[in-house]
Amino acid sequence: MSRPTIKADLLTASRTSYEQMMTLCHQLAHPEADFSFVITDKMTEGHWQRDKNVRDVLIHLYEWHQLVLTWVRANQAGQVQPFFPAPYNWRTYGKLNQTFIAQHQATTLASAEALLANSHQEMMTLVGALSNEALFTKQYFAWTGTTALGSYFVSSLSSHYDWASKKIKRQLKADKSK
């Protein structure tokens, strides 16, 4: 599916990608076990080392929802707030991702699923409350800079779910080769 550029497509893509990702999670032979797929030299992105299991992936998604929800709600209320909490920024958000995972080592897979289900619904409700123009017009809100607000939602919803699905599919493939 192409990257959504209108509200209806964002809602549909996000719902579909979320459902597909969760279906994949439930197909895993041992969903609470650490990933067993081989990490190759071509897998240079930090998430390959960071996320050890499905819980880590789901928590990552949940925490990114929290970033978006907190940022949008604060700015809509007139409280100017950057997207990332201090001291993080777009150059250092990898460290923030590691912090998210470290904070949730005691979180169970069931709790991670519940947290994500709730935050997914909150995100969908927020998208539903915004107009197509508010979502996809660049600089519609001063606090989004030169980016359209919808880009943040696409990145943290449908695109992020597609990323997670690829990782889970890799584990499903590893399960089948055992």
CA dist., res. 122 & res. 15, Å (int): 12
Mean pLDDT of 12-19: 98
pLDDT value at residue 1: 61
Amino acid letter at 58?
Answer: L
161-173 tens-digit pLDDT: 999 999 999 999 9
pLDDT value at residue 83: 97
Taking alpha carbons only, the member of 117, 168, 163 closest to residue 3 is 163
* Per-residue pLDDT band at 177 (split at 50, 70, 90): confident
56-100 tens-digit pLDDT: 999 999 999 999 999 999 999 999 999 999 999 999 999 999 999
pLDDT value at residue 43: 79
Percent of the chain with pLDDT over 70: 99
Amino acid letter at 67?
Answer: L
Q: What is the pTM of this model?
A: 0.95
> Each residue of 93-127: b (16+ CB within 10 Å) or e?
eeebbeebbeebeebebeebbebbeebbeebbebb
pLDDT value at residue 50: 83
Q: For residue 6, count other CB atoms closer than 10 A to its CB.
A: 12
Taking alpha carbons only, the member of 12, 5, 128, 115 closest to residue 61 is 115
pLDDT value at residue 76: 96
CA dist., res. 61 & res. 73, Å (int): 18
> Is 178 a residue whose pLDDT tops 80?
no
26-65 tens-digit pLDDT: 999 999 998 888 878 887 887 878 899 999 999 999 999 9
Tokens 């980016």 belong to 147
Taking alpha carbons only, the member of 156, 163, 157 closest to residue 47 is 163
Mean pLDDT of 143-170: 96
100-133 tens-digit pLDDT: 999 999 999 999 999 999 999 999 999 999 999 9
pLDDT value at residue 19: 98
